[in-house]
Amino acid sequence: MKISILTLFPELITPYFEASVPGRGAKQGLYELEAVQIRDYTLDKHNRVDDYIFGGGPGMLMQPQPLADCIDDVRKRHAPGTKVVYLSPGGKVFNNRIAREYAQLPGLILLCGHYEGIDQRIIDHWVDEELSIGDFVLTGGELAAMAVADAVIRFIPGVIGNLGVHEEESFENGLLEYPQYTRPADFRGYVVPEVLQNGHHAKIQAWRQEMAEEKTRHVRPDLLEKGGTED
Ligand code: 4HQ
C-alpha cells in the first residue's frame, strides 16, 4: 500500500513514521509513505495557498487551485482504487473497522487542511471521504492524518509481528481491553490479580471477559448498545 499525506508541514509527518512499528514496516517494504508539500503546487506568485472566505467571517480558507493540482498530481502516482480522504471535524468518525477496510486499498491520499479548512468544491469533487478522528478541533489536519495512517498501517499484514494480536485488542470484539500486567507480581505492594498468576487458562479467559465487559459498561456503554462489533 502507498500512503500520501498532503500537507503544508511535511516535516512534521515523516519522522513519526520512521520510528518504532511503522518504521520497521516501511523498511520491510510492507507499505510506502510520503509527505507532499501542497504549497509546491500554488500558481500564486507570492506562494499563497489561502484566501478570504466568501460571505465574510473570521479566518482564511485554503484555495482550491493548489489542492486540486496537488491531488491530481499525486493520484497519477497511485493505483486505481486509491481513496482521497479529507480530515475534518465535519467528517464521519474514524474507527478500527474503517482502518481495517483502508488497509486493503492499494493506496490512500490523506489531505490535511489548515486555517478554517478548505474550499467546499475540493470536498465535493476531489475528495472521496471526509473523516474525523473525534469531536474536538485541531489546529491542522496533520495529527488526524497521522492517527488514521498509523491505525491503517497496523492492519497491513506483517506490520505487527504476532499473528492474533489484533483479536485481543480493544474494539475487535466490541469491548475495551481487559487489564494486563507484567512482572513483578508485587510492585510496591500492588499485586497482580491472583487468577492471572495461577496459569489456569479457562479461568483466565473468563476473568478477562468479565473485566472487559465491566470496563466497557462503565466507560463506553455506547459500544454495548451497538450490539457487538462495528462490522
Ligand atoms: N481539524 N478530525 C481543522 C480537526 C480534525 C478532527 C482538521 C481542524 C482540519 C481545518 N480533523 N482543520 N477533529 O480538528 O480530523
End residue of a domain, out of 153, 183, 208: 153
Exposure on the CB side of residue 71, measured as CA atoms within 13 A: 21
For residues 179-203, give the mean pLDDT. Answer: 97
Cβ-contact 39, 69 below 8 angstroms: no
Report yes or no on 26 lying in a domain.
yes
Report yes or no on 158 lying in a domain.
no
| 148 pocket-lining for ligand 1 (C-beta < 6 Å) | no
pLDDT at 228 (0 to 100) = 46
User: Grid coordinates 489456569 are at which residue?
Assistant: 200
CATH of the domain at 192: 1.10.1270.20
Co-location of 132 and 219 in the same domain: no
Co-location of 32 and 130 in the same domain: yes
Co-location of 125 and 189 in the same domain: no
Co-location of 193 and 148 in the same domain: no
Co-location of 187 and 138 in the same domain: no
| DSSP output for 142-195 | HHHHHHHHHHHHTTSTTSSSSTTTTTTSTTTTSSPPPP---S-SEETTEE--HH
Q: How far is the CA of 82 from the centre of ligand 1 (A)?
A: 22
Q: Name the nearest CA neighbour of 62 among 138, 131, 141.
A: 141
Report yes or no on 14 lying in a domain.
yes
Co-location of 59 and 137 in the same domain: yes
Domain of residue 53, residue span? 2-153
| 25 pocket-lining for ligand 1 (C-beta < 6 Å) | no
Average pLDDT across the chain, whole number: 96
Q: How far is the CA of 40 from the centre of ligand 1 (A)?
A: 22
| 137 pocket-lining for ligand 1 (C-beta < 6 Å) | yes
Co-location of 23 and 66 in the same domain: yes
Report yes or no on 206 lying in a domain.
yes
Report yes or no on 92 lying in a domain.
yes
Report yes or no on 164 lying in a domain.
no
Q: Give per-residue pLDDT as tens, 144-183.
A: 999 999 999 999 999 998 767 888 888 989 999 999 999 9
Its pTM stands at 0.95
Contacts of 13 (CB under 8 A, 6+ apart): 5, 7, 33, 35, 142, 145, 146
Q: How far is the CA of 112 from the centre of ligand 1 (A)?
A: 8
Q: How far is the CA of 109 from the centre of ligand 1 (A)?
A: 16
End residue of a domain, out of 92, 121, 153: 153
Which residue, judged by its Cα, is nearest atom 10 of ligand 1? Answer: 117
| 117 pocket-lining for ligand 1 (C-beta < 6 Å) | yes
For residues 123-149, give the mean pLDDT. Answer: 98
Q: Give per-residue pLDDT as tens, 62-104.
A: 999 999 999 999 999 999 999 999 999 999 999 999 999 999 9
Report yes or no on 199 lying in a domain.
yes
